[in-house]
Structure 1
Amino acid sequence: MVSERGLQVLRAIVQDYVDTREPVGSKAIVDRHQFGVSAATIRNDMALLEDEELITAPHTSSGRVPTDKGYRVFVDHLADVRPLTSAQRSAIGAFLEDTGDLDDLLVRTVRSLTRLTGQVAIVQYPSFARANVSHVEVVHLGGTRIVIIVVTDTGRVSQRVVFLATEPTDDEALQLKAAMAALLTGKSVRDGAAAIARTLEHDVPVPREENRRIVLRAIGEELEEFRHDRMVMAGSATLARRESDFRGSIYPLLEAIEEQVTLLRLMGEMVADDRGLATSIGRENEPFGLSEASIVAGDYDAGGSQARVGVLGPTRMDYPTNLAAVRAVAHYLTRLLEEDEKSR
């Protein structure tokens, strides 16, 4: 069992290693931190930490660096998450205010978070399976082109240009809009997709109904897309700039970013604490092929549907600052989405 001073020594090693990227020795700890004991005493504490596999020596006769287990103990024993400065909080608020639709808000969210942390930023879309279709619009653009707009009560907007089989008259365009609104408005995304599937299954394929079937298929595809879990990311270039922090290749991380499915599964399985924050460090991510990376995530709420926002980076990261940034951004997201819901 690690003593209270041992935890303080571990905290000093983690902080100094994150700041300097250099292994930390007992003399450096005595010089930089006010422990009030000799370097020999600190060496004894470090030996005990090494016995517990919380720190390790990367080279013979060098200082020590935290292990994945050490980072975990450090994070678990954080007395409090370091608060952001007022300037940082103001920057988040200014960047996220006056956004357009949900897509715009989430893109701004990850850009803001990667600026704050210097890590890859990730935000999950809320689950839209329980969202309701609040509006359907069909606009004739001329010729055979129309634009279909589908809006949900959670703020998700889909806009898609579709080419019909024949050029519609003004009356036909209005009828298409009315038919789609009658079929879908007020239904959940899941029920709307099912209603479209049933309609297409029982439709008689006559030429004069082909335009309606094209619109139905297009809207059905959009509703299915609403139901799929997906995420927005920013800051992938930070991995290349910090490649030296990874013992092996950064290729598994780049592949996970491109595929998204792995990250969605990992973030979905992370267990949050009572502050709504979760971390998954190093070897804890081995089942997902990301044993050299850490993820810090926080929960946000979107109309009763919960999702996560977080950062991905090497295990040598500033956990207190990243946790504070994730928590602050998650709070802003929840507040903005609540205000948007109340205004509708």
Structure 2
Amino acid sequence: MVSERGLQVLRAIVQDYVDTREPVGSKSIVDRHHFGVSAATIRNDMALLEDEDLIAAPHTSSGRIPTDKGYRVFVDHLAEVRPLSPAQRAAITSFLDEPADLDDLLVRTVRSLSRLTGQVALVQYPSFARANVSHVEFVHLGGGRIVVIVVTDTGRVSQRMGFLQGDLDEADVAHVKAAIAGLVTGASVRDGLQAIGAFLAAPGDGGRVDAAVRGVARILAEELEEFRQDRLVMAGTATLARSEADFRGSIYPVLEAIEEQVTLLRLMSEMVADEQGLAASIGRENEPFGLAEASVLTSDYDPAGSPARVGVLGPTRMDYPTNLAAVRAVAHYLGRLLDEDERAR
């Protein structure tokens, strides 16, 4: 059981080690933090923390550094996540102001968060499986070339190019548009996919227009299927080069996880948030995902009932209070912008 002063000593070691990247000794704690006790007393507290595997000595006769377990206890005992400064909040607001569309907003989000924290920033796309298809447009470019454009009531706009066998006249194009719109307009993404599947499973008349409708339906199904897939937007991967020394082993597993988004998506989906929507997964807690030397901090945002997460990834030696505050603030602004956009529709 760690005493209250022991927790304060642990907090001092974490803060000093994050600031200096140097092991922390009892004398520096006494000099910098004014505990009102002797260095010998602090050494006793440090010995107890070491017995609990909360700190460790990286070298013989050196100071101490936090362990992964120590970082976890530090985060769990944060009295509060300190708010960002007015300047930091203004920077977030300015950076996220008036995005062109959802894709632009999420790109701005991760760039802003990476600048605030100096870490790799991540944001999940909302799941659009529950979104409704508000409009489908089929543009015939001539010959067999077409573009299928899909708009959902959550603001997502996407397009996919495809090719059809044979040419179509204006009447054919109008018929195809009407048939496709009748299949999915007003339906959820999930229901629209089911409607397309049932349509394609039914026998057709084998005519030219029926073949065109089926061709467009297949292209539309591919696009709607992507709406159901989790995706990440990331920024700040280059920041890992500045903190490579903080990874005791190889930085390669972290880079591989960034390259293979499915690992990070799975990790983020399994993290358990507190009552504020914040979650932290630290060091060895990430070992099943190949990220035993990294920490991931996330905050929930909930656009139109499609919950998703914003977060940062970096070495375990990071400024947890500041990074958690930044993640929470950016998630708040992102959620608010998406809610405002939803109400405006």
| TM-score, length-scaled by structure 1 | 0.97
- SS of alignment partner, residue 217 of structure 1: helix
Q: What CA deviation, in whole Å up to 9, does each residue of 1:8-67 have, x standing for no partner?
A: 111111001001101011111111112112211111111111111100000000010000
CA distance in 1, matches of 2:66, 2:24: 9
The 1-side partners of 2:90 and 2:173 are apart by 47
The whole-number CA distance in structure 2 between the counterparts of 1:231 and 1:193 is 23
Aligned partners of 2:81 and 2:174: how far apart in 1? Answer: 55
* Gap change, CA 1:46 and 1:93, over 3 Å in 2: same
Q: Which residue of 2 aligns with 1:125?
A: 125
Note the 1:23-34 alignment, pairs <5 A: 23-34=23-34
Q: Does 1:244 align with 2:283?
A: no
Q: Aligned equivalents of 2:231 and 2:55: distance in 1?
A: 37
Offset of 1:169 from its aligned partner? 2.0
In 2: Cα distance, 1:36 partner to 1:312 partner: 37
| Percent of paired sites with the same residue | 76
Partner of 1:220: 221
CA distance in 1, matches of 2:46, 2:260: 41
Q: CA deviation at 1:205?
A: 6.8
Gaps of 5+ in 1: none
1:335 aligns with 2:333: no
Q: Within 1, Cα distance between the matches of 2:176 and 2:92?
A: 42
Give 3-state SS (helix, strand or coil) of 1:278's partner.
Answer: strand
Q: Give SS of 1:58's match.
A: coil
The aligned amino acid for 1:148 is V
Q: Which moved more, 1:275-284 or 1:175-184?
A: 175-184
- Is the contact made by 2:180 and 2:213 (CA closer than 8 Å) also made in structure 1? no
Deviations, residues 51-104 of structure 1 (Å, cap 9, x unaligned): 111000000000100000000000001001121111111111111121122121
CA distance in 2: counterparts of 1:316 and 1:282, whole angstroms = 10
Q: Does 1:139 pair with 2:139? A: yes
Alpha carbons of structure 1 residues 239 and 207: separation in structure 2 relative to 1, 3 Å: farther
Q: Which residue does the alignment assign to 1:21?
A: 21
Distance 2:144 2:326 in 1: 48
SS in 1 for 2:36: coil
More moved, 324-333 vs 252-261: 252-261
Greater displacement, 78-87 / 168-177: 168-177
Deviation at 1:144, TM superposition (A): 2.9
Aligned length: 344
Match of 1:210 in 2: 211
Q: Give the aligned residue type for 1:228.
A: Q
Structure 1 residue 190 corresponds to structure 2 residue 190 = yes
Alignment of 1:216-295 (within 5 A): 216-295=217-296
- Please tell me the residue identity of whatever aligns with 1:284: E
CA–CA separation in structure 1 for the residues paired with 2:197 and 2:176: 17
2:101 maps to 1:90: no
Q: What is the Cα-based RMSD across aligned positions, in Å?
A: 1.3
Q: CA deviation at 1:157?
A: 1.5
Residues 172 and 239 of structure 1, relative CA distance in 2, 3 Å threshold? same
Is the alpha carbon distance of 1:253 and 1:205 closer, same or farther for their aligned partners in structure 2, counting shifts above 3 Å? farther
Compute the TM-score of the two structures, normalised by the length of structure 2.
Answer: 0.97
The DSSP-based 3-state class of the residue aligned with 1:309 is strand
Alignment partners' CA distance in 1, 2:159 and 2:118 = 33
**SS of residue paired to 2:168:** coil
Structure 2 residues without counterparts, runs of 5 or longer: none
- d(CA) in 2 for partners of 1:127 and 1:340? 17
Amino acid at match of 1:144: G
CA distance in structure 2 between the aligned counterparts of 1:336 and 1:169, rounded to whole angstroms: 43
